[in-house]
Amino acid sequence: MLGELDFNQEADNLVVYERFLRESELDATATCPLPVRELTAKKVLTMTRLDGVPLLDAEALRRTAATAGAAEAAVATALNVWSTSVVSCDFFHADVHGGNLLLCDDGRVGFIDFGIVGRLPPKVWNAVTGLGESFVTGDFEAMAKSLVAMGAAEETVDTAKFGRDLEAIFDRMSRVQPTVTVGTTTTASGDVAAFSTLDVDDEEVSRIVIDIINAAEDNGLKLPREFGLLTKQALYFDRYLKSLAPDLDPLNDPRVQLSAPGRSAAPALGDA
């Protein structure tokens, strides 16, 4: 929480993430702002500007997109960049709600607001890869096994039972649909333009994370605190896939790499 209130820390996060994009050769499809250091302090953050539209503004995406399938491509890029950062960056973006993802005018996906980030200890990296794959395929027992590998169990965990508990939670989640808002707005030139947005219920996502943590504890498993942040982002992406890219198969689409080849520590800022 204290880090989120210190804009100097967020400025450092931006520098590290921009370097991660460049060194991972992802900067052609994704970007983030950079801080203006001379205009940044603990309580003030000044950044370079990203021009674009929110990823969940469906109507704006259609107007902005130069090619068909731009919304799906943007979701694929965002998921690929984020999942790669989980195992290849010093941290992952831990607040990827729709307002923090942009489709930029240059076609790249923009990540903004790095006040909340998550860091995973090395011992859970392999478990995270398995968790991501089981999440996509809906293999709840495999998901349970990955969570066991990620956490600390007081005794042997019945992964079949744990998997059934997880399936019940995700079944409830599947019944909750994003809210679609349709309206009109007046542009700077005086024209009237239609817009539609897809809103993901943050409270519902948080409740699901809490339900998973409670189910883990009921099955004798204590998950690391990073799990909540990680899973919340996965739930956001699950909604984006279903709303904006329902035909995208993350496990077989070459644009998405859910398992990165390896992780290298981010260099110190002074090494730039």
Q: Which amino acids are annotated catalytic?
A: 95
- Residue 182: enclosing H or E segment and its boundaries? strand 179-186
Q: Are strands 30-31 and 109-111 parallel, antiparallel or unpaired?
A: parallel
The radius of gyration of the chain's CA atoms, rounded to the nearest angstrom, is 19
* C-alpha closest to that of 178 among 224, 115, 89, 246: 246
Ranges of H-type helices in the chain = 7-23, 58-64, 70-88, 125-137, 140-150, 159-174, 202-218, 226-244
Cβ neighbors of 157 (< 8 A, separation 6 or more) are 144, 148, 219, 220, 221
Q: Are 55 and 197 in contact (CB under 8 A)?
A: no
User: Of 212, 144, 139, nearest to 173 (Cα)?
Assistant: 212
Q: Distance (Å, rounded) from C-alpha 96 to C-alpha 235?
A: 10
Residue 271 corresponds to which tokens in the numbers above? 């090494």
Q: Please state the φ and ψ torsions of residue 268, each to the nearest 5 degrees.
A: -65, 150
* Bridge partners for 110 per DSSP: 31, 102
